[in-house]
Structure formats: C-alpha cells, structure tokens
Amino acid sequence: MNGYAPSRAATSRAEPRARSIAVEVEGRWDALALSKQLSSYHSFLVEHHAGRWVVHARTPGCRGEALDDALRAVDDWAAQHELDRVPLRVDGTELR
C-alpha cells in the first residue's frame, strides 16, 4: 500500500451506474403500494393529473440492488394487482 487514496476515476469504475425508473400508476393507493415495494430504491411519488401518478425510483438501491431487481419488483407488484401492462420508463426511455 502506497499511502495514497485511490483517485475518483478509479473508484467510479467500481460503482454501478445510477439509473432512474418511472412507473405510471392510476390511483393514489396503488401508487403508494408500489412506492412501498420500491422503498429501497429511493422511491417517491408525483401526481401529474387527477388520479394519475408516477412512481419514481433509482438504482442501485440502498443495499446495492440492481436495475433488474427493481424491474422484477415492479413486475411482482403488477402481478399482485392483476395488471397486464404497466407503463414504465428507464432513464427516460419507454420500456413498456
């Protein structure tokens, strides 16, 4: 060990890339339920129109969870609520 701290460039390569997720949801209670499911992904809610909510989250999660884990959580939530399609964007690009 040379006694010098690693440069920011060296440490940033080891860290996963931050990704933003936005899921469109109808109804406050469904939005709150999804936000709770995504709480480890720094989730928050925005009401864009009456009854039309967007749940925002970002990866990596609090415990280092990856994007795939967050998407799986959204899919699990949708299945529990018997929803076929949930509009979802990652980094502004529509996935569904």
Q: Which H helix or E strand runs over 21?
A: strand 19-26
Q: Where are the domains of the chain?
A: 19-91
Residues 86, 96: contact at Cβ < 8 Å?
yes
* % of the chain surpassing 70 pLDDT: 83
User: Domain 19-91 belongs to what topology?
Assistant: Alpha-Beta Plaits (3.30.70)
Record the tokens describing residue 20, joined without a space: 């933003």
From residue 51, give the alpha-carbon distance in Å to each of 17, 25, 38, 77. 32, 8, 20, 18
Residue 89 in this model has a pLDDT that exceeds 50: yes
Q: pTM of the full predicted structure?
A: 0.78
Residue 18 in this model has a pLDDT that exceeds 60: yes
Helices (H), 1-96: 8-14, 28-37, 67-80
